[in-house]
Structure 1
Amino acid sequence: MWMHWGNRRFFRIYCPDLIVHPVLDCPDAVDKILPWLERLHVIVFGPGLGRDPKIIETATNLLKLCLSAKKPIVIDADGLFILNDNIDLIYGHSNVILTPNAIEFRRLFGEDINVTRHKISLLGDGIVILEKGLNDKIYISQTNEIYIMPSGGSGRRCGGQGDLLSGSLATFLYWSLQSNQPNPVYLAACASSYFIKRLNYASFQKLGRSTVASDMINEIYTVFRNDFES
């Protein structure tokens, strides 16, 4: 299940398929959200969150609550902004995936390779970093291993492509956990990186430079069937 807390009217008009609960800006937002958490399989933090101080404060408290409840979590976009000065929030937790682009990665872990390795090593073995780029990179915190994924996904990099990555990560993470796969966060990161690049490639072959994120969504059925189910 996926939920977004924001402007309900806007999102319901734009996409009636979404379940939207507009409570993130309420003073008692965390208390209102708490009863729903048990029903949620994976929580995605960040896309569309914004940086209003009150929203950030509420989202930070909600993140702490989800971590204490041991919920699987994907953190992207403005969710990563929360971690810039609070990376220790996720230390030692399991089933957490971070999805920074190159700039967000440097903000989180610095530019000096030794500092970067040290900061990543502190995360713990249940956390994976998927750095987005022409070649996505997957960082395994405990071993300092870096896996370079095949290039692609940038025939035309669409606005919203990162959101598709976050959503697919949540889905693959849940499936990996349900099927008791070893290292589910790593498996989910590999599968989602590959999947989104394949969606982009399939869309770009048809529409070229006019490709947008919704065109990638239209390719989900075919790409998933051909690359995963077959």
Structure 2
Amino acid sequence: MKILTADQIKKCDSATIENGISSINLMEKAANACVDWIQVNFKQAKRFLIFCGQGNNGGDGLAIARLLYEKGFDVEVFIEKNQMKFSADAEINFKRLKLIKGIDINNFSDVLIVNNEKSVIVDALFGYGLNRELSNDFKNLIEKLNQIPVPKISIDIPTGLYADKINEEESAIFKADFTLTFQFYKRSFLHPETGKFCGKIEVLDIDLNSKFIDEVKTDYFVIDGSLIRKIYKPREDFSNKGSFGKSILIGGSYGKIGAVLMSTLSALRTGSGLTFTMAPECGNLILQSQVPEAMFIGVGEKYVDDIEVQEKAVYGIGPGLGKEKQTQKALFDFLKSYQNPMILDADALNILAESQNLNLIPKNSVITPHPLEFERLFGKTQNSFDRIELAKEKAEELQIFIVLKDHHTAVITPERKVYYNITGNSGMAKGGSGDVLTGILTSLISQKYDIEKACLFGVWLHGKAGDLAAAEFSEESMLPTDLINKIGEVFQNLS
């Protein structure tokens, strides 16, 4: 799914209107989509308090108020009566609303702090076109609404939030439990500083102009199910283990064998044909007993002190590796002699960060840093938007793929494209989850998935398995090994 800027969305709306639907009917379609969702998900609600601005977002809110009332809900509308001059379409919906005697139209200043679990606040004050800080009156209103302990829904985007950039630290932003957005994600939904205001995102299809969407250029995308179904390659009959590649996971050190064990297990669960673990001898018994399907290659006693070069293999290096001097030398020697794409994670990245020998990373390799590892590699940034921009520069400069781990992990390609993943949950914020991802990516690339597609599929698969694990065990109690055991269920669903 493409992510468009606010300006591109405006042009898409215009293209849709030019293609035969009037702007007022497009607004009605958007309002109906919201009401259909609300009716299913808030059928027990008794009263909706709908706050409407003067633009088209307010027009959506006014139409939603009318349609909810027609469905039998109690509705109150709040506007700025003294200063309100509506947009043309919002004015039409305001006139329609005034013909209904059962809907109270109040001033913003009339809102009271309520504590009624049957009430729902709907924010339709400012939409995706907001490009300035809110006035003090609106800031005060937002702060008051955020204090009311009832469910909150934003239409299109939470008021006060920009679509394409980060807000000032002290900005007043509506804190939604749900955001009902139209056709596209906004970038601000997908970054930690801004996404926390959006709650659960629901993308509603309102049939915007498909030709415009197909042709419009963007560097930003969401990894969704339709993309994954195009990437996924079911296994063919009459294939053999050699058809599905050779994965070599390198890592582990005294006291940290579990990391490379989880990488090995996840590589196997993801379909690796032949799987090897290169680890120190102190991990031999653990690895052979816990994962007998993988072959063990001892490289050192307590720490990895050599990396054996094998042709026609894909290497995943780093989980539990440690940073001992002999391990650093082994990694540098290997990188100087082996130029095929590989996956580098965890301590492999930390070793590279300390040395700043980043040019040793083979082209088309994949690195999987979390934000702190990224900072060690490439330097500090002011916020996650800036971090993505720096990642685009470095991916192009080094000709590598950067899998930047976060709540919404982003895959950044050498062509500066950014793909945000929307599977996964906070239960995956545990040590070991990243090691699982390393094994998944190593396995997919060894199975001859195109490297970009392997990254997209890998982060989606990782998150989807995490969602299944959280559904069974809870986000608090799920373990990275639970995630590994759910990989098969994801493949079953894909098949």
| Aligned counterpart, 1:123 | 398
- For 2:428 and 2:299, locate their aligned partners in 1 and report how far apart those are by CA, in whole Å: 35
Residues 21 and 176 of structure 1: is their aligned pair in 2 closer, same or farther, counting only changes over 3 Å?
closer
> Could you tell me which of 430, 439, 443 is aligned with 1:167?
439
Give the length in aligned residue pairs: 209
1:33-44 to structure 2, matched below 5 A, reads 33-34=308-309, 37-38=310-311, 40-44=312-316
What letter matches 1:19 in structure 2?
M
8 Å contact from structure 1 (residues 109, 120) kept in 2:
no
- Deviation of 1:156 after TM superposition, in Å, equals 4.1
Q: Take 2:469 and 2:287, find their aligned partners in 1: how far apart are those partners?
A: 24
Aligned equivalents of 1:54, 1:76: Cα separation in 2: 18
Aligned to 2:420: 148
- Which structure has the larger Rg? 2
> Following the alignment from structure 2 to structure 1, what is the Cα–Cα distance between the partners of residues 343 and 295?
18
C-alpha contact 1:153 1:198 (8 A) present in aligned 2: no
Q: What RMSD in Å do the two structures reach over aligned CA positions?
A: 2.4
Residue in 1 that maps onto 2:463: 197
Aligned to 2:373: 104
Match of 2:319, SS state, is coil
Matched, 1:133 2:406: yes
Compare 6-15 and 102-111 and name the one that shifted more: 6-15
Q: Which runs of 5+ in 1 are unaligned?
A: 178-183
User: Please, which of 337, 362, 365 is the counterpart of residue 65 of structure 1?
Assistant: 337
After superposition, the C-alpha distances for 1:60-108 in whole angstroms (9 at most, x for unaligned) are 21232222xx2x3010001111221111112xx4331000001111111
For structure 2, the 5+ residue unaligned runs are 1-274
Separation in 1, partners of 2:305, 2:372: 33
Partner of 1:77: 346
* Partner Cα separation in structure 2 for residue 79 and residue 172 of structure 1: 20
The answer to whether the Cα contact below 8 Å between 2:425 and 2:463 also exists between their aligned partners in 1 is yes
C-alpha distance after superposition, 1:35-79 (max 9, x if no partner): xx02x5210110121111111211221232222xx2x30100011
The structure that is helix-richer by fraction is 1
Instruction: Tell me what 1:4 maps to.
Output: 278
TM-score normalised by length of structure 2: 0.39
CA shift for structure 1 position 121: 2.8
The runs of 4+ residues in structure 1 deviating greater than 6 Å are none
**Superposed displacement of residue 214, structure 1:** 1.6
CA contact (8 A) 1:74 1:97 kept: yes
Which letter does structure 2 place at the counterpart of 1:2?
F
- Structure 2 matches for 1:202-217, cutoff 5 A? 202-208=468-474, 209-217=476-484
In the superposition, relative to structure 1, how do residues 151 and 80 fare at CA in structure 2: closer, same or farther (>3 Å)? Answer: same
State the alpha-carbon separation in 2 of the partners of residues 123 and 28 from structure 1: 27
CA contact (8 A) 2:392 2:412 kept: no
**Amino acid across the alignment from 1:89:** L
